[in-house]
Structure 1
Amino acid sequence: MPQHVYIESIGLLGPGLNDWAQARAVLAGRVPYAHAPTDLPPPAGLPAAERRRTGPTVRLALGVGQQAVAASGCDAAQLPAIFASSSADGFNFHAICEALAEPDPLMSPTRFHNSVHNATAGYWSIASGAMRTSNVLCAMDGSLGAGLLECVLQASADAESCLLIAYDTGYPEPLHSFRPIPDPFGVALVVTPQPTSRSVARIGVALTHAPATVMPEAALETLRTSAPAARVLPLLAAIARGETGSVVLDYLDGLRIEAEVAEVAEVAGIGGNARA
């Protein structure tokens, strides 16, 4: 049986997608999609020393997380968080490999502490003042699915709101040829166990073997498959169109996630805010 929760707000950054308000019009088909480089904002909330140490992965994750929290009725400092990414900071990893290949290898402490997969969660806690628990997940191309399942189940089991931040950035060559992620893409969802006046949709998740839902527009389908976090696009498109139905998201080989989507007004009697 699907596990149901409510999406309170959405943050989004990707190529040609600058935030949820702009992306919603594109995904609903009201505005044509136009590819453009992902615009990563400065990492707001960090002290100057920490800002200087951040790379594109931290800027992406903080950017979408701060969008989602700002649009919600939640306090970032009080939100448990799930971070999901198929890798850490690829450009930082590349720089470490270059340093280690030198005749006299020297490792920068900043490079080292930014190399761990949970570095983004640490920067988030500094920027938001968050003292709640955070889980940091990696499941290669299934990372978005793993994060979504964890967030939905945690919000339901603990009966409290939870923040999901899923994000992927790429690598420079030569690693780019083996793991091509052409553009940074990140999404954040504030998930609540009960509906509120801000809720944009109710979702229920369950495992399935059905094929994944594809995007009807070729450019958006290319984007969907370009980064693990972008596998969320069919779910976001259904929310943007105010649909009631189900979409199937990529997860693991042979196993996917079926997400039931409904407007909140239809299931909870909260009027007219599902597309806000």
Structure 2
Amino acid sequence: MMRLYIEGVGLLGPGLNGWAASLPILGGLQDYVPAPAIVPPSALLPANERRRAAQIVKIALAVGAEAFSAARRDPAETTTVFASSGGDGETIHEILSVLASPNRELSPTRFHNSVHNVPAGYWSIATRSQAASTSLCCHDDSFAAGLLEAAAQVSAEGHAVALIAYDVPYPRPLSAVRPIGDVFGTALVLAPERTEATFASVELDLHPGPGTPSAVAPGLEMLRQGTPAARSLPLLAALARATEARVIVSYLDDMALNLTITPMPPGAGQQTGSPA
């Protein structure tokens, strides 16, 4: 079992425009109303990089920046884990369309944006970070894999790690064979010890045998089932309710992550790092 301390959260999805604005919805105090996600341009990037950035990069930067602002940590000094089930579907579609056409001249920008770790690259540019970074995917269980990787690094290395998870739909015809419901991104800044920014702890246990994943409210449940990164919603809802809770997140066919969430009043620990 591993214990993590949560210092900051970022969130962006349909009808979920930031963590603070989404708290009443996730906490069950306000009905969820689906609406197109508002993906803001990132002020972290230089103008040229901002123009070239794909939607998935903008999502990753938005949720990452929100989480670090709450955590009051310097992103340039913090290890990161990026998790996505399939990367940038729009770029993959455009590349395959060009390769299937008579004119196979591929835009360098498209090629540049096609690699799975491109959000990590833009993040390092935006934050001037030279800290270690991991980019991974695990199909529908990518959020669970990312959380497990981040937890392992926090526990083994004894320093903070930010998990940034995101997904975007594939265009047609790829969407017919790999449907992803909607855009979604979330970020968690995780620390090995309690600090002034800590507002909850999470005990994580990798349990052998399949578990029944925790569900959320009906509208949000459709999002959770349809978008891999949104498998984070039961954890986010538990954090929003600020009550002790147990959450199960499925992981592969024969395992599950059992999470025990305990709220903590902020300001009781010793802050480390410097403000973002």
The normalised TM-score by structure 2 is 0.93
RMSD (Å), alpha carbons? 1.5
Cα distance in 2 for residues equivalent to 1:243 and 1:32: 19
Superposition map of 1:108-147 within 5 A: 108-147=107-146
Given candidates 267, 270, 273, the residue that maps to 2:268 is 270
Contact 1:14 1:38 in 2 (8 A): yes
Superposition map of 1:81-230 within 5 A: 81-208=80-207, 209-215=210-216, 217-230=217-230
**Runs of 4+ displaced beyond 4 Å:** none
Cα distance in 2 for residues equivalent to 1:15 and 1:114: 24
Q: What are the superposed Cα offsets for residues 12-40 of structure 1, whole Å, 9 maximum, x if unpaired? A: 00110011111111111111111001110
Contact 2:3 2:203 in 1 (8 A): yes
Superposition map of 1:238-253 within 5 A: 238-253=238-253
Shift of 1:210: 2.4
Letter in 2 for 1:256: A
Superposition map of 1:15-26 within 5 A: 15-26=14-25
Superposition map of 1:24-43 within 5 A: 24-43=23-42
Q: What are the superposed Cα offsets for residues 133-189 of structure 1, whole Å, 9 maximum, x if unpaired? A: 100011111100010011111112111111100000111100111111131100000
Aligned to 1:57: 56
Aligned to 1:258: 258
3-state secondary structure, aligned to 1:9: strand
Cα distance in 2 for residues equivalent to 1:200 and 1:264: 5
Cα distance in 2 for residues equivalent to 1:245 and 1:116: 37
Cα distance in 1 for residues equivalent to 2:166 and 2:103: 34
Letter in 2 for 1:222: M
Cα distance in 1 for residues equivalent to 2:47 and 2:245: 46
Greater mean deviation of Cα atoms: 33-42 or 98-107: 98-107
Shift of 1:269: 9.4
Letter in 2 for 1:226: G
Shift of 1:245: 2.9
Letter in 2 for 1:177: A
Contact 1:40 1:56 in 2 (8 A): yes
3-state secondary structure, aligned to 1:25: helix
- Structure 2: runs of 5 or more not aligned: 270-276
3-state secondary structure, aligned to 2:166: strand
Letter in 2 for 1:270: A
Letter in 1 for 2:234: P
Cα distance in 1 for residues equivalent to 2:122 and 2:149: 21
Greater mean deviation of Cα atoms: 228-237 or 173-182: 173-182
Contact 1:211 1:248 in 2 (8 A): yes
Aligned to 1:233: 233
3-state secondary structure, aligned to 2:249: strand
Letter in 1 for 2:233: L
- Structure 1: runs of 5 or more not aligned: 272-276
Shift of 1:211: 1.0
Shift of 1:41: 0.8
Letter in 2 for 1:212: P
Cα distance in 1 for residues equivalent to 2:203 and 2:171: 37
Shift of 1:240: 0.9
3-state secondary structure, aligned to 2:17: coil
3-state secondary structure, aligned to 1:49: helix
Cα distance in 2 for residues equivalent to 1:256 and 1:181: 22
Cα distance in 1 for residues equivalent to 2:132 and 2:34: 36
The normalised TM-score by structure 1 is 0.93
Q: Give the percent of matched residue pairs that are identical in Structure 1 and Structure 2.
A: 46
1:269 to 1:122, Cα distance in 2 relative to 1, 3 A: closer
